Amino acid sequence: MELIIHRGTQEIGGSCVELKTDRTRVLIDLGMPLVNKDKKPFDSKILERKSIEDLKDLKILPNIRGLYKNDEKDVDAILISHSHLDHYGLLNYVHPDIPIYMSQGARELIEISSIFTPNKLNKINTKIIDSKKAFSIGDIEVTPYIVDHSAFDALAFLLEADGKRLFYSGDFRGHGRKSKLFEKIVRNPPKDVDCLLMEGSTLGREEQLYRDEIAVQNRIEQILKAADNISFLFVSSQNIDRIVSAYKACLKTDRIFVIDIYTAYILDRLSSISKHIPQFDWRNVRVKFYKNQADILAREVSKKLLYRYNAKKIEMPEINEQKNQILMLTRYNSLFPRVIKSINNPIGAKIIYSMWEGYLSNEFTEYCVQNGLIIEQVHSSGHAKSTDLKSFASAINPKTLIPIHTFEAKRYPALFQNVKLLKNEEVFTLP
Ligand SMILES: [Zn+2]
């Protein structure tokens, strides 16, 4: 079995791995880069109006034979570990006959992003993975493992062929609401792993504000208890763990959790996968309507859903009447200043900033200062801290451990056993 990491040996984002036997070629993830060569943020606008060949020349699309639309198909399948753009964001370029395997949760979230965000996805040949069942692609056997990550229903994969076993960790952590999944792998790891590809996003940037998801929930609860004005929650609506933490904090303090139509729709679509995800019609949840989201839902999905969500609609007068009782999910976009303008005396309102601090712009901080809004960062990483990486690696105890999805591959040899550093595009034959 041969392994080629097309991208990811030296960077976070844009992961793409190839596994190959004499008969079968499988890719794992085909992500959009997060950074350019100079480590400045990658701007997806660069993709506009460029051909596949142009994008290969720019090293944005990995140079993989038989993968793209303009080529003769020679890749048997693509496995997508989870619904973050840096793991699936280049799928639009692939040959339409290549089956793309992912979890049900990933499929729902990727589809919703395609409806509501600029990240449009063409029709792809999706196959849904049952996370309890192994399956085969040619002579490669794939066993999925659900992992704890900030993306819902994220998977790691064990791939076996030619008597060799490779484990791809994907993105994971041990301190989310599904930390049990992490403990399960550590307690009962896949045996005889020849090669482990393990992420290391937090290495080199490990100042955790909050230890775990429960600490985040507790802090949100304290803030809500002490609030004498409206509180805003800045969070990705797709970070289901965090939405659950915020909802539980609202229940404990009897506050009203105001979500938007986009969030209500995400939660609604995931309700068939988990009964524990809060829904728009649950206690203490209300829905704020924004015209652009309502238009998209009516046009692209169904008007009926709007009528359903309308039953729990909340409008500004009601919000103003009980503003110290409200936690309002929002984001920094053109709507936010309009919301602030419609709040009676927003001075002193709290912004619970519950996303990676790298997204917190100077522009937004400045805006908050000018408007008397107080930012408090309440966040916990989507990725494993180094102690958890260590217990994960030593539980799996691979013959070879290869860094991926990290800016700090060079730190691995000091932290873990049997490390081998690869370069992007280097062909590695499993020994
Ligand atoms: Zn991720």
Q: Looking at residue 333, what is its pLDDT? A: 85
Q: Looking at residue 304, what is its pLDDT? A: 96
Q: Looking at residue 397, what is its pLDDT? A: 98
Distance 303 CA to ligand 1 centre (A): 32
Q: pLDDT band at 275, cuts 50/70/90?
A: very high
CB 276 within 8 A of CB 267: no
Give the C-alpha separation, 349 to 17, whole Å. Answer: 46
Written in H, E and C, the secondary structure of 333-364 is CCHHHHHHHCCCCCCCCEEEECCCHHHCCHHH
Distance 311 CA to ligand 1 centre (A): 34
Distance 244 CA to ligand 1 centre (A): 18
Distance 141 CA to ligand 1 centre (A): 24
Percent of the chain residues past pLDDT 70, beyond the cut: 100
Q: In this predicted model, which residue has the larger pLDDT, 169 or 431?
A: 169
Distance 377 CA to ligand 1 centre (A): 20
Q: What is the pLDDT of residues 283-306, one digit of tens each?
A: 999 999 999 999 999 999 999 999
Distance 172 CA to ligand 1 centre (A): 8
Given a cut of 90, whether residue 420 has pLDDT beyond it is: yes
Q: pLDDT band at 330, cuts 50/70/90?
A: very high
Given a cut of 80, whether residue 207 has pLDDT beyond it is: no
Given a cut of 90, whether residue 40 has pLDDT beyond it is: no
Percent of the chain residues past pLDDT 90, beyond the cut: 91
Q: What is the pLDDT of residues 65-84, one digit of tens each?
A: 999 999 999 999 999 999 99
Distance 14 CA to ligand 1 centre (A): 11
Hey, what's the torsion of the CAs at 237, 178, 283, 321, to 10 degrees?
A: -50
Q: pLDDT band at 119, cuts 50/70/90?
A: confident
**pTM score, whole prediction:** 0.95
CB 61 within 8 A of CB 46: no
What average pLDDT does this structure show over 359-381? Answer: 94
Distance 151 CA to ligand 1 centre (A): 6
3-class DSSP state of 404: strand
Q: pLDDT band at 218, cuts 50/70/90?
A: very high
Q: Looking at residue 123, what is its pLDDT? A: 85
Least Cα distance to 236 among 359, 128, 342 occurs for: 359
Give the C-alpha separation, 256 to 325, whole Å. Answer: 6
Kind of pairing between the strands at 350-353 and 256-260: unpaired
Give the C-alpha separation, 31 to 7, whole Å. Answer: 9
Q: Looking at residue 122, what is its pLDDT? A: 86
Least Cα distance to 246 among 207, 272, 278, 210 occurs for: 278
* CB count in 10 Å sphere of residue 267: 21
Q: Looking at residue 356, what is its pLDDT? A: 87
CB 171 within 8 A of CB 384: no
CB 143 within 8 A of CB 156: no
If phi > 0 it is left, if psi is from -120 to 50 it is alpha, else beta; for residue 8 that is left
Given a cut of 90, whether residue 167 has pLDDT beyond it is: yes
